């Protein structure tokens, strides 16, 4: 990854996000994960960056993917799902690899149950986007790419 390398972004989707489209549509909408990934691929082409997307329901698999991103990707967009509110280990993985990270959520977690108001990830992220449905990912990718191009 030299100075002139095309920016490469890893997009990680955490637990239960494979069920988007049929999972609590009143909260998460009817857009499927495939729809979101297709939207991001299109956006990546427009931004002239590369993206790789991965979903897992397993904390360890997400941590392994974050470790493997080192030297392979320039930044991370992550929706950690419920692990947002529980996982010191995912937070530590992001801190360890020091990859610029944007945390995204489809729902506005601050309008929901109190247990969703705390994020273990936010302190190791550049920023957080929450509440714009599938557009949270689009805004997150745009913000990350602009951050990487400025730094």
- Calculate the alpha carbon distances from 58 to 11, 23, 76, 110 in Å: 15, 18, 18, 24
Taking the complex as a whole, the smallest distance from the CB of residue 47 to ligand DQA amounts, in Å, to 22
Identify whether 105 is a catalytic site residue.
yes
User: Could you give the CA distance from residue 110 to residue 117 in angstroms, rounded to a whole number?
Assistant: 5
Instruction: Select the span of 43-51, 81-89, 91-99, 137-145 touching ligand DQA (CB under 6 A).
Output: 81-89
Is residue 145 close enough to count as binding ligand DQA by CB under 6 A?
no
Nearer to ligand DQA, 7 or 121 (CB): 121
Q: Which of 28, 83, 120, 137 is catalytic?
A: 28
Query: How many Å is the Cα radius of gyration of the chain?
Result: 14
Site string for ligand DQA, 99-118 (x = CB under 6 A): ------xxx-x------x--
24, 18, 27, 21: which is closest to 55 by C-alpha? Answer: 18
User: Could you give the CA distance from residue 85 to residue 111 in angstroms, rounded to a whole number?
Assistant: 15
Binding interface with ligand DQA (CB under 6 A): 16, 79, 81-82, 84, 105-107, 109, 116
Catalytic machinery residues: 28, 105
């Amino acid at each position: 990854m030299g100075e002139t390398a095309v920016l490469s972004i890893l997009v990680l989707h955490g637990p239960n996000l494979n069920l988007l489209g049929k999972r609590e549509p009143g909260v998460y909408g009817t857009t499927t994960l495939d729809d979101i990934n297709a939207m991001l691929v299109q956006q990546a082409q427009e931004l002239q960056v590369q993206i790789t997307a991965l979903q897992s329901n397993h904390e360890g698999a997400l941590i392994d993917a974050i470790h493997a991103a080192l030297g392979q990707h320039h930044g991370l967009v992550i929706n950690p799902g419920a692990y947002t509110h529980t996982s010191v280990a995912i937070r530590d993985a992001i801190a360890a690899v020091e990859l610029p990270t944007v945390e995204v959520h489809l729902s506005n977690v601050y309008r929901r149950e109190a247990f969703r108001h705390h994020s273990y990830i936010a302190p190791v992220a550049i920023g957080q986007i929450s509440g714009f449905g599938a557009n949270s990912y689009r805004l997150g990718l745009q913000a990350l790419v602009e951050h990487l191009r400025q730094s």
